[in-house]
Chain A
Amino acid sequence: MTPPMGAAPTEPPLTNWRALVESFVIPTGAVLVALLIFGGFCGLAGASPFSVYHSIYRAAFGSWYAFQNTLIRAAPIMLCALCTALPMRLGMVMIGNEGALVIGGLGTVLVGAYWVSAPHYVALTAMALAGMVAGGLWIMAVGAMKIYRGVNEVISSLLMNYIAIAILNHLVNGPMHDPSSLNKPSSYPVPEANALGNIPGSRVHFGLVYGIAACLITWGLIEHTSFGFKVRMIGGNLRAARMAGLAVGKISLLVCFLAGAAAGLAGMAEVAAVQGCANESLAAGYGYAGILVAFVGRQHGLGVLLVSILLGGILASGGMLQRQNHLSDATVLVFQGIVFLVILYSESLYGRFKIFQTRAA
């Protein structure tokens, strides 16, 4: 049956179980291959691969205690990854995540540290909004430069990271400087009463809830609404989208704003739940980790969610590898590199295995 004119192009039907199995087997196989290669590396470094595997499992996923460590690390990465994943669907390679996080953190402090008399939930809402608006405008500026002036967004968003960190350093050394923070220049703190707390029954802060919610919203918005369809259409063929009369500029700016807002929210959680103020520790590399996660997660809301947890687990195992297996501190980076490279390579394998192909009826 041919679809009527104007309807969405047919997606592969969900009943295609072979494709489903394929999309499960290939990533799983990739992780197993990565583990084998990494085991070989550890063997060369003088540690038993089996003991290393057990350490990774035990440190990242082995118990609720360990899994919380994984989730804590995954939370900011999830939000930062959306900052690359969303514009990617428009065909833009946005790598300004770190900057948007920093600016979001600064926006949060502007509200949280100066409006100290606000009631708890009002303050938290205001801080979250401030963080999102600040981060959103930051990335929207990159988007505007691209759309209206043709400035390459890869370069400009990267440079905006440095500008954001410079602004942070200027503010915490100057106008926002808390004189009691002598040797680690910081902004005035967000009062403890307005801090973002932990999820009840855990030591994971609410940033994780924000992250999961943002990933689910992204998934719903991009894959299941007409707005999302427009976004995918722009990303698929810009000229066709223009010809079809889509408001390419407006849609693109809005997506950039949402992307920046996600990273800004990560900054809000870092300030309100972790650091308590803005300082150099905000730029801890979550933004750059997010770029990687967005690509490995195939710019898909759910993919980002899963890959962030995988990366959180890898990072959580770093300590155990040092303490238990006496491997160097860089080992966890080697592991991360191997896993992500193999997963990215495995994407070229889709459709290559006969067994996963639907046979002609």
Chain B
Amino acid sequence: MKIFNLIKVAATVAVMTALAAGTATAADKVSMGFIYVGPKDDYGYNQAHSEGCAGVQKLDWVSAVEEASVPETTAVEEAMRDMIEQNGATVLFPTSFGYFNPHILKLAKDYPKVQFFHCGGMWHEGLPVNVGSYFGYIDEAEYVAGIVAAETSKSKKLGFIAAKPIPQVLRNINSYTLGARSVVPTATVQVIFTGDWSLPVKEAESANSLIDQGVDVLTCHVDSPKVIVTTAEKRGIMCTGYHANQSVLAPKGYLTGAEWNWSKVYMDYADWVHSGKSLMDGTIPHLIRGGLKEGFCKVSPYGPLVSDQAKADADAAKAKFMAGTMVIYKGPISDNTGKVVIPDGTELKQTDIELEKMNYLVAGVLGSTGS
């Protein structure tokens, strides 16, 4: 019993001092909460967002809390609620795609004064006004990575390990392929769909089987590219990264990669909220999107194996993206069954809603969407 009382006293003292320290400075800070579906150090999707959080935490008028490995169930609803009720968060970034419907929408109705920003671009008219969406055209960075991959590859066989055949993923595969074939028209991209976002064993098996088939540059669209990048390095082939910078995992073979730059996006939001703007009065737009030019994503620094020629071609494409003159989806483009999907003379700009329904693989991709 005595020990129990002691514990209670000690705990109360500790918490009271913590609370006192907390309330003294929290007055005019922007209080933010970040929620991730996986660990913060996954070298992938979640790390990219956590790096964004670390970016805004540097601002001394922002206080931010984080919670990692929160599944897309009632768990995320409770995590959001706790951040609002216990940490006083007024701005939330629940980052996993599957958090949106129904979890964010549910909480947004319960807390109309809290602003919810979701990564994925799903907001539309009629949904709660305190919800906003942001997303990046990272396929622009994939296009540049495709150029580097094709020019550096010796076999001209590239490999792409992807989670699911959904529009977002197909767009990355297609842009990567179009980039590769813009410099090496004979290059092919063999794709394998693993079926889910985080299946390390299957990802390693896929990587090995692609390498056995003669692929010498691997890339991927899964939550954590770690296993694929390390497998590529171990087997002595090259790779390009995704989500975050994985060059430390493959110092020899890492060529470049398509990275998110969420700290820029989160800083913008923080600035807006700090200056009194809000989603509710319409001073913060509900949908924000951007690519390389807007700083939503970036291309990893080139690795040691990239030739000067490849660098020059990649930089030229990047410069066109930065100038806003580059159109990836410019007809004629046919899919890998020979059907024309974008006719000659048609240009689909990045913002075109048509691209968000993508359900094909372009010519040069070996594989099928499967359903």
Identify the A interface with B (CB < 8 A).
48, 50-51, 53-54, 57-59, 65, 69, 72-73, 169-170, 173-174, 182-185, 270, 274-276, 279-281, 284-285, 315-316, 318-320, 322-324, 328-330
CB <8 Å contact, B14 and A183: no
Q: Within the complex, what minimum Cβ distance (angstroms) separates A133 from chain B? A: 24
- Which of the 9-residue segments B77-85, B231-239, B336-344 touches chain A? B77-85
Residues in A with CB closer than 8 Å to B12 are: 54
Considering only CB atoms, which chain A residue lies closest to B79 in the complex? A319
- Whether B40 sits at the interface, judged by CB under 8 Å, is yes
- Whether B5 sits at the interface, judged by CB under 8 Å, is no
Q: Mark B30-73, 1 if CB is under 8 A from A, else 0.
A: 00000000011000000000000000000000000111111111
Residues in B with CB closer than 8 Å to A275 are: 73, 102
Considering only CB atoms, which chain B residue lies closest to A57 in the complex? B11
Q: Which of A50, A59, A270, A330 contacts B7 (CB 8 A)?
A: A50
Take A69-B82, A183-B167, A323-B87 as given contacts and tell me if A51 and B73 are in contact as well, using a CB distance cutoff of 8 Å: no
Interface SS of chain A: helix, strand, loop or mixed? helix
The 27 sampled A-B contact pairs (Cβ below 8 Å) are A48-B14, A51-B14, A54-B14, A58-B15, A59-B82, A72-B74, A170-B371, A173-B371, A183-B120, A183-B168, A184-B166, A270-B73, A274-B74, A275-B73, A275-B102, A279-B98, A281-B73, A319-B67, A319-B78, A320-B86, A322-B67, A328-B68, A329-B39, A329-B68, A329-B69, A330-B39, A330-B69
- Whether B10 sits at the interface, judged by CB under 8 Å, is yes
- Whether B277 sits at the interface, judged by CB under 8 Å, is no
Identify the B interface with A (CB < 8 A).
7, 10-12, 14-15, 18, 39-40, 65-75, 78-79, 81-83, 85-87, 97-98, 101-102, 120, 164, 166-168, 195-196, 356-357, 371
Q: Within the complex, what minimum Cβ distance (angstroms) separates B63 from chain A? A: 11
Take A48-B14, A50-B14, A281-B72 as given contacts and tell me if A323 and B196 are in contact as well, using a CB distance cutoff of 8 Å: no
Residues in A with CB closer than 8 Å to B97 are: 183-184
CB <8 Å contact, A53 and B7: yes
Residues in A with CB closer than 8 Å to B11 are: 50-51, 53-54, 57
The 8 residue pairs across chains A and B that have the minimum distance between CB atoms: A54-B11, A329-B68, A329-B69, A281-B72, A50-B10, A51-B14, A323-B65, A50-B11
How many A-B residue pairs lie within 8 Å, measured between CB atoms?
Answer: 96
Considering only CB atoms, which chain B residue lies closest to A65 in the complex? B85
Take A72-B78, A323-B66, A323-B67 as given contacts and tell me if A182 and B356 are in contact as well, using a CB distance cutoff of 8 Å: yes
Q: Within the complex, what minimum Cβ distance (angstroms) separates A114 from chain B? A: 19
Q: Within the complex, what minimum Cβ distance (angstroms) separates A98 from chain B? A: 13
Q: Which of A48, A53, A54, A69 contacts B78 (CB 8 A)?
A: A69
Report the separation of the CA atoms of residues A53 and B7 in the bound assembly, to the nearest whole angstrom: 8
Q: Which of B39, B40, B65, B73 contacts A284 (CB 8 A)?
A: B73
Residues in A with CB closer than 8 Å to B78 are: 69, 72-73, 316, 319
A-B contact sample (11 more), CB < 8 A, given A183-B97, A275-B102, A284-B75: A51-B18, A174-B371, A183-B166, A279-B98, A280-B196, A284-B71, A319-B78, A319-B79, A322-B66, A323-B65, A323-B82
CB <8 Å contact, A182 and B73: no
Considering only CB atoms, which chain A residue lies closest to B356 in the complex? A182
CB <8 Å contact, B166 and A185: yes
CB <8 Å contact, A182 and B357: yes
